[in-house]
Copies of this chain bind each other. A is one copy, B any other.
């Protein structure tokens, strides 16, 4: 035991040295934030965690999430000590061709989740902990938190959900090093104040000296024994621990030491930690504690997810797309046992309640805490689950940083936002999503889908279930709409549907969701007046079928009118305008351009100039 402790101190020392070497080589980075956590990291990686270093995909590995992502040097240094990285690798830190990025990303194979925007790690950990409970696996998820980031509300959302679901397999370690980027943290060096908060939120708390290896080991042992509660170890540490000139001092955040300073610092560190520095590494053999597959462990593998053909019929009575979403994810749940539903306490509005009724054990109530819901989805998805995450579309704005980080982490999140646009009516602007297409489009590898009837909703949910390149977003409508497609119709990502076309068309109207129905009404009115227009259902806004749009427009007077229940900025119209640039096609875009208000859906569609009459008027101005 004594030798083990010395070995862990030696590993911590090595991580300190590596952290300094790599940041100085890079000329940037956060060495002092790494130094405060080195002892904790050593105990985690070489004492507590059970994992197979050679197989990061082993489903029984304990998981580690570096929520304080800027401390990446100590994270990479730990993997070097484990033998996965070399010193040469470390010296590529932050360079263009290296996978060792400034903040961890999935490009490095041992990263569990991209971090760097603070306050997301605990939610991701909660998702992983939840997946372990669902699959009867014994692995623990360790989350290293910074003390600055505990000011983020998302931490408290994660704290309350983890306690609510009694996730005793989630063990957080708070690196209370006292100093933020530019000033002292709110609670300075008072670990008991953090403890009081976490206790009030239902956590078991343990306060330790984060530089005393014996205390760290003891706390980690204790943490594993806790039942029915998540655990947080609050470690009092010093920022820059080991470098006297910087330790516990302001002004050293995010600053690499210069190549000139480094030799002196290392020399000093060798003297200060002489026992660790001169530890005989051959005197102790570390072997990883490989995890066991529990007898009850569940492994579910789904290949392509094929939904049973829906029972909707062309001309059927009205069905809201949000309701079809609930039915479709339930069908997806039948097709694959990994499919889950996450709700932010609006299940009776989004119709996630249909899924809950059928699969209560795969339905997670996240309460009104959208940030945690999204990042918890990242954690679940990383552990093989297929969560469909739904709330009012406008409330995804609450979690946009988490969605952005999920995209950076190449998460395959499936998001559904209901109650899009002014057509929700009386509830007023706070409940209307009018920017969601813009937000969800401006994410790398995302797709943005917007169905107009039950069939297309259902089929697009199937597409989402099988979309593996990034985030997929589905926009649904509050109002009931008629079924306009045969149940056998397919809706591939990146496609569109030509729903009206003749050889006399003088314009092409492009709508999606609720405005497609306005376009169809306009079509009927115009036809009675002898005016012919083509109509396209642009159910896939990103990617967008430019080829079909251009082709149809070219045989429709080279004129396009787009119409959408969304602000003009970043919406469907701008996307189409961009797609048809340089083609000589004329385009006019009908969209919401002012702050809306309460009113009847029809009044608001009219007020915004996106109803059938507005389309008719626009076509008439266009018509030769």
Contacts and interface: CB of A to CB of B under 8 A. Distances in A.
A347 B597 contact: no
Given A152-B157, A598-B96, A430 B408 contact: yes
Contact of A116 (B114, B400, B428): B428
B200 A196 contact: yes
A435 B426 contact: no
A95 interface: yes
Contact of A404 (B117, B435, B443, B445): B435
Contact of A353 (B157, B182, B372, B582): B182
Contacts of A349: 181-182
A367 B567 contact: no
A578 B438 CA distance: 14
Contact of A152 (B105, B369, B569, B586): B369
A353 B186 CA distance: 18
Best-surrounded residue of A98, A103, A367, A443 (most CB of chain B within 10 A):
A367
Contacts of A345: 148, 151, 180-183
A481 interface: no
A157 B229 CA distance: 23
A: interface residue count bin: 35 or more
A65 B177 CA distance: 37
Interface string A380-406: 000000000000001101101100110
B96 A597 contact: yes
A441 B434 CA distance: 12
A371 interface: yes
B117 A398 contact: yes
B401 A397 contact: yes
A118 interface: yes
Contacts of A197: 197, 200-201
B431 A94 contact: no
A119 B368 contact: yes
Given A101-B597, A397-B401, A400-B400, A367 B148 contact: yes
Contacts of A582: 586-588
A186 B161 CA distance: 9
B401 A398 contact: yes
A357 B570 CA distance: 39
Nearest to A443: B435
Given A197-B200, A347-B182, A597-B107, A153 B114 contact: no
Interface stretch (A79-87, A311-319, A320-328, A599-607): A599-607
Contact of A154 (B27, B28, B29, B153): B153
A376 to B, nearest CB: 13
A622 to B, nearest CB: 11
Interface string A57-94: 00000000000010000000000000000000000001
A398 B400 contact: yes
Contacts of A118: 368
Interface string A464-506: 0000000000000000000000000000000000000000000
A456 to B, nearest CB: 23
A478 to B, nearest CB: 11
Nearest to A604: B96
Contacts of A425: 28
A609 to B, nearest CB: 15
Interface string A173-188: 0000000111101100
B408 A429 contact: yes
A427 interface: yes
B584 A581 contact: no
B410 A430 contact: no
B431 A439 contact: no
A102 B426 contact: yes
A202 to B, nearest CB: 9
A347 to B, nearest CB: 5
A346 interface: yes
A305 B69 CA distance: 41
Interface in A281-338: none
B95 A595 contact: no
A155 interface: yes
A421 to B, nearest CB: 13
Nearest to A445: B595
A394 to B, nearest CB: 7
A279 interface: no
Given A94-B598, A96-B598, A101-B429, 14 more contacts: A95-B598, A95-B600, A117-B394, A151-B345, A181-B345, A182-B343, A186-B367, A394-B404, A400-B439, A438-B569, A439-B439, A573-B578, A577-B578, A582-B587
19 contacts: A26-B426, A28-B427, A94-B599, A101-B428, A116-B428, A118-B368, A148-B345, A151-B160, A153-B369, A180-B368, A182-B349, A397-B400, A408-B430, A435-B443, A439-B439, A444-B595, A574-B575, A578-B578, A581-B581
Q: Please give me the 8 A-B residue pairs with the lowest Cβ-Cβ distance, nearest first.
A: A153-B153, A116-B430, A96-B599, A570-B570, A200-B200, A435-B442, A398-B401, A102-B428
